[in-house]
Amino acid sequence: MHSWLLPCLLGGLALAAPTFAQDEDTPYAYPDDEKPEQTRGSRRHRTEPEEDMASDFRRISEEGDEEDFERLSRMDDPNTGVAFEALGGAMVVSSPRGQLLGDFLPAVGGRFTWEYGRLLGVEALRESLWFDVRYTYAGVREGTKLIVGDTRLHYATIAPAYELMFGESSEYGVYAQVGGGIAYEHTTLEIGGKVTPVDGVKPLIQYGVGLRGRTKVSSESNVRLAWRVELMRFRRGYLDDTFVGASLGTAF
C-alpha cells in the first residue's frame, strides 16, 4: 500500500501546478488600474471640442475669406457715412464799391456728405476722408424809388475734405476743405419800372476750415445728429466771397 501511495501523491502535485499558474499575457486588472484609464479618457473627451474649435478657426483663417471678415469688422459701426444738412449764416460778398469787408448778406442752402474713405479699407481714413455736394444762396435788393438793383447769387460746389479726429473713436474733429464749382449770378436793374436782366456764370474755387460733429441720438439707432461750424471762401473770378455759418442735419 505504501508502494503505490507515494507515486499517486507525486502525480497529483504535478497536475495541480499548471492550474495555479497565471498567464503572463493576460494580467489581472486590478481596480486601481482602471481609474487612471477613465481619467485619461475623460480628459481626452474634454479637449476634443476645444481642438475642434481651434481647427475651425485655423481653417477659416487659412481659407482667407476676406468678405466675411470685412462684414464682421463693420458690425461695430454699421453707419453708411451719408449725411444731409441744412446750412445758414452770413455771406460777405465782395463789394463793387470797394468796401473793406464787403456786403453782409444772409445765406442759406444745403449739402449732401459722403464719407468715401470707407471704401479704401484703411481704418485711419475710414471717417477722415469725405466730400460735400453743396448749394448756397445769397441775395440782396437795394436802391431808390427810381432805381432798384436786385442781385441773386447761387453757388454750386463739390469739395473733398480731410478731417482730423479728436480721438480714435471720437465723434468730433476739425477739417480742411478744398474744391470747385460754379457761381451763377442773376442781376436785374429796374429804372422807372423798366427791368433789365443781366446773367452770368463763373467758375469758382471753394476752400476753408471748420468743426464737424456727429452726435449719437440713441444707442439703439444708427441715426446721428450731424452739425458743423465753418469758415468758407468762394473765389469767383477776381472776387472773394466769405461764408461764416453753421449747419444741422442727419447722418446715417
Q: Are 129 and 114 in contact (CB under 8 A)?
A: no
Mean pLDDT in the chain?
80
Name every residue whose Cβ is closer than 8 Å to that of residue 212 and which is 6 or more positions away in sequence.
163, 172, 173, 174, 175, 226, 227, 228
Task: Tell which residue, 181, 190, 132, has the closest CA to residue 155.
Answer: 181
For residue 211, being part of any structural domain is answered with yes
End-of-domain residue from the set 41, 64, 87: 64
For residue 49, being part of any structural domain is answered with yes
Name every residue whose Cβ is closer than 8 Å to that of residue 43 and which is 6 or more positions away in sequence.
none
For residue 114, being part of any structural domain is answered with yes
For residue 210, being part of any structural domain is answered with yes
End-of-domain residue from the set 64, 91, 123: 64
Task: Tell which residue, 233, 234, 229, 231, has the closest CA to residue 85.
Answer: 229
* Burial classification of residue 35, based on how many CB atoms lie within 10 Å of its CB (0-12 exposed, 13-18 middle, 19 or more buried): exposed
Find the CATH number of the domain harbouring 167. 2.40.160.20
Same domain? 104 vs 57: no
Question: What are the pLDDT digits (tens) for 180-235?
Answer: 999 999 999 998 889 999 999 999 999 999 999 999 888 788 899 999 999 999 99
Question: What are the pLDDT digits (tens) for 6-59?
Answer: 566 555 555 555 555 555 555 555 555 544 444 445 455 454 555 565 565 566
The structure's pTM equals 0.68
Same domain? 116 vs 240: yes
What is the 8-class DSSP label of residue 116?
G
Task: Determine the 3-state secondary structure of 24 from DSSP.
Answer: coil
**Number of domains comprising the chain:** 2
Task: Tell which residue, 242, 113, 135, 133, has the closest CA to residue 183.
Answer: 135
Give the model's confidence band at 251: pLDDT under 50 very low, under 70 low, under 90 confident, else very high.
Answer: very high
For residue 69, being part of any structural domain is answered with no
Domain coverage including residue 56: 28-64
